[in-house]
């Protein structure tokens, strides 16, 4: 006698998912248990977990059978423990313990099984739910810890949270009613909008705050140069608070990345604040841009739609910094392996910070620099010209004097600055509404710069002076025009005036000091 069943599950491909058919075949023969369809070690080991879970849950496990589990499509590598639950249900369905075939075909199942039959969370529940809804399934059965995340996937999809294998069996047999999990998007955005960080906490540094406002308004990358203790890290941590709020589409895309990476907690469900990632300078290139035997998103993708803060920039390994150039330019990371090639989104804003020299006090009026000129040059040369070419704004952050530190007068709040930033972003959205995939000034290419960044005669004269007399490099030309366009947008000016060009030129410190 042969017994066959088919259960639907899902697998990840980058930050998206695809449907996997878990086929179970049983026949009276020499006892064996085989899983085919390109499974990795974690999938092969599911045999032991599934058998123990079935026995612990008092379900029959027929020993004198040849059992074959096929994971289709069979030509794509399967990884992870999310197939435990569909394999167990497939075996029970083949044995007749789950008999409602029509109900089985309506649901996608994912989940890892513990040896006692309890269901453990898995990575990637959100993209799996999105795919299940898009393919017309009635619902998806997920571990309780993944229910909140999966409920963000599709408005018409029922998300069934389960805690034990017996709950799944009873639900599929119509013996147990489980209320589908629902999430309130508005409430999630409202409750996560509050943050303790605010620009009003920063004493002094008005020029640096202004530069960060310009960067936020135009989506520009920025680097801050200053001695230790000048407030570079404090400013960077508050940078995300002046960025426009995430849209629902952006929030779901960011959540998908964190879900696939396994960095999304059960309490979050949806990322509603712009991500802020701050990796240590000892990070590897694979951890920064993504990679591994089975590629996972790196820090640049986890910072998608948010901020990537690199403190002590010259201390990062040179090869690590150089691999960032492609994602900074393209807004995505492509990881190629022999068996597959995956692409992860990486549209982040880079905020970098560095000291002006190894000791940190070159140019400081209150402390004496102990570095030799050659040491300073070698230190600054650790950051390559091509990388700096992708950073629009360079700003000096000097040490804060005592008068500013002791002042009780608070600066502008993040909310006030963010209001101006949002108005400038709205101007850019209207400007680029006919341009494909262009949403901010920072992403303009040569064609758009020529079209939208035409300064007057006075502005062109200033640019000429900057290039010929101040020692600015030719590569700074486009950057200055883009930043000037953003400054004009902040002032709601349709024209780029000389004052806008003049301020933009001030934001090219490293061009002026190093690369002449």
Where is average pLDDT lowest: 10-14, 119-123, 185-189? 185-189
**Mean pLDDT, all residues of the chain:** 88
Of 11-15, 202-206, 264-268, 456-460, give the lowest mean pLDDT range.
264-268
Q: Tell me: the pLDDT tens digits for 213-254?
A: 999 999 999 999 999 988 899 999 999 999 999 888 899 999
Neighbour tally for 195: CB within 10 Å: 11
Question: pLDDT of 363-387, one tens digit each?
Answer: 877 788 889 989 988 998 888 888 8
Q: What number is the average pLDDT over the span 147-172?
A: 93
Higher pLDDT pick, 259 / 475: 259
Percent above pLDDT 70 for the chain? 94
Residue 116's contacts (CB-CB under 8 Å, 6 or more residues apart) are 53, 56
Of the listed ranges 19-23, 187-191, 205-209, 283-287, the least confidently predicted one is 187-191
Kind and range of the H or E run holding 324: none
Helix (H) or strand (E) holding 277, with range, is: strand 276-277
Average pLDDT over residues 146-174: 93
258 SS3 class: helix
Tokens of 305: 């739609």
Residue 25's pLDDT is what?
92
Exposed, middle or buried: residue 63 (CB in 10 Å: 0-12, 13-18, 19+)? exposed
Q: Are 269 and 187 in contact (CB under 8 A)?
A: no
Does the pLDDT of residue 388 top 80, yes or no?
yes
Of residues 62 and 125, more confidence is placed in: 125
What pLDDT shows up at residue 400? 82
pLDDT at 89: 95
pLDDT digits (tens, 9 = 90+) for 409-434: 777 899 999 999 999 999 999 999 88
Query: 311 and 278 in contact (C-beta within 8 Å)?
Result: yes
DSSP 212-224: HHHHHHHT--EEE
Among candidate residues 323, 331, 259, 350, the one with its CA nearest the CA of residue 297: 259
CA-wise closest residue to 486 among 452, 461, 463: 452
Per-residue pLDDT band at 59 (split at 50, 70, 90): confident
pTM: 0.88
Q: Model confidence at 194, in pLDDT bands (50, 70, 90)?
A: low
Spatial contact of 463 and 449, defined as CB atoms under 8 Å apart: no
Q: Taking residues 45-57, what's their average pLDDT?
A: 92
CA nearest neighbour of 414 among 247, 190, 216: 216
Q: Which pLDDT score is estimated for 265?
A: 77
Cβ atoms of 307 and 346 within 8 Å: the answer is: no
Q: Quick one: CA dihedral 361, 364, 368, 373, positive or negative?
A: positive
Residue 516's pLDDT band, with cuts at 50, 70 and 90, is very low
Q: Assess whether the region 2-172 and the region 199-414 belong to the same CATH fold.
A: no
Place 514 in a pLDDT band, splitting at 50, 70 and 90: very low
CATH of 2-172, one of 3.30.230.10, 3.20.20.80, 3.40.50.620, 3.40.50.720: 3.30.230.10
Give residue limits of the domains in the chain: 2-172, 199-414, 444-516
Residue 134, pLDDT > 80, answer yes
* CA terminus-to-terminus distance, the chain: 82
CA dihedral 463→468→472→478, nearest 10 degrees, is 40
Given a cut of 70, whether residue 191 has pLDDT beyond it is no
Out of 28-32, 101-105, 107-111, 312-316, least confident range: 28-32
Paired tokens of 490: 């902040």
Mean pLDDT of 403-407: 70
Phi-psi region of 308 (alpha: psi -120 to 50; beta: other; left: phi over 0): beta
What would the CATH number be for the domain defined by 199-414? 3.40.50.300
Tell me the CA distances in angstroms from 244 to 193, 270, 292, 300, one per residue in order: 12, 17, 33, 19
Checking if the pLDDT of 73 tops 80, the result is yes
């Amino acid at each position: 006698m042969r017994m066959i069943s088919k259960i639907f599950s899902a697998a990840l491909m980058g930050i998206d998912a695809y449907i996997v058919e878990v086929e179970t075949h049983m026949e009276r023969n020499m006892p064996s248990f085989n899983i085919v369809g390109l499974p990795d070690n974690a999938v092969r080991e599911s045999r032991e977990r599934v058998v123990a879970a079935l026995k612990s849950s008092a379900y029959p496990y027929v020993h004198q059978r040849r059992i074959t589990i096929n994971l289709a499509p069979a030509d794509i590598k399967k990884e992870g423990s999310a197939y435990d639950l569909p394999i167990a249900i497939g075996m029970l369905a083949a044995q007749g313990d789950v008999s409602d075939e029509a109900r089985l075909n309506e649901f996608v199942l994912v989940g890892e099984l513990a040896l006692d039959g309890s269901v453990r969370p898995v990575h990637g529940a959100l993209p799996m739910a999105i795919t299940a809804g898009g393919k017309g399934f009635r619902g998806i059965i997920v571990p309780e810890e993944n229910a909140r995340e999966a409920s963000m996937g599709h408005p018409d999809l029922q998300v069934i949270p389960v805690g034990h294998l017996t709950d799944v069996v009873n639900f599929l047999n119509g013996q147990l009613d489980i209320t589908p999990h629902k999430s309130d998007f508005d409430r999630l955005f409202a409750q996560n909008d509050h943050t303790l960080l605010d620009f009003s906490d920063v004493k002094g540094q008005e020029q640096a705050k202004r530069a960060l406002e310009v960067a936020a308004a135009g989506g520009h990358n920025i680097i801050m140069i200053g001695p230790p203790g000048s407030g570079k890290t404090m400013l960077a941590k508050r940078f995300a608070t002046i960025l426009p709020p995430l849209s629902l589409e952006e929030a779901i895309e960011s959540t998908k990345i964190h879900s696939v990476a396994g960095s999304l907690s059960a309490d979050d469900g949806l990322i509603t604040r712009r991500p802020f990632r701050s990796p240590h300078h000892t990070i590897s290139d694979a951890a920064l841009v993504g990679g591994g035997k089975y590629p996972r998103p790196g820090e640049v993708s986890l910072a998608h739609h948010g901020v990537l803060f690199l403190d002590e920039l010259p201390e990062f390994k040179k090869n690590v910094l150089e691999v960032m150039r492609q994602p900074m330019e393209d807004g995505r990371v492509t990881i190629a392996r022999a068996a597959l090639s995956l692409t992860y989104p990486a549209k982040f804003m880079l905020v970098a910070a560095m000291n002006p020299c190894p000791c940190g006090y070159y140019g400081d009026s209150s402390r004496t620099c102990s570095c030799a000129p050659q040491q300073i040059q070698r230190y600054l040369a650790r950051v390559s010209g091509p990388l700096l070419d992708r950073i629009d704004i360079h700003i000096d952050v000097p040490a804060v004097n005592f008068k500013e530190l002791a002042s009780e007068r608070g600066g502008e709040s993040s909310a006030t600055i963010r209001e101006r930033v949002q108005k400038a972003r709205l101007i850019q959205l209207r400007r680029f509404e006919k341009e494909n995939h262009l949403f901010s000034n920072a992403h303009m290419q040569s064609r758009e710069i020529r079209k939208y960044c035409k300064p007057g005669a006075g502005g062109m004269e200033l640019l000429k002076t900057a290039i010929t007399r101040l020692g600015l490099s030719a590569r700074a030309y486009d950057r200055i025009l883009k930043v000037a366009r953003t400054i004009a947008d902040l002032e709601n000016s349709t024209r780029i005036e000389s004052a806008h060009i003049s301020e933009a030129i001030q934001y090219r410190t490293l061009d002026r000091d190093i690369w002449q």
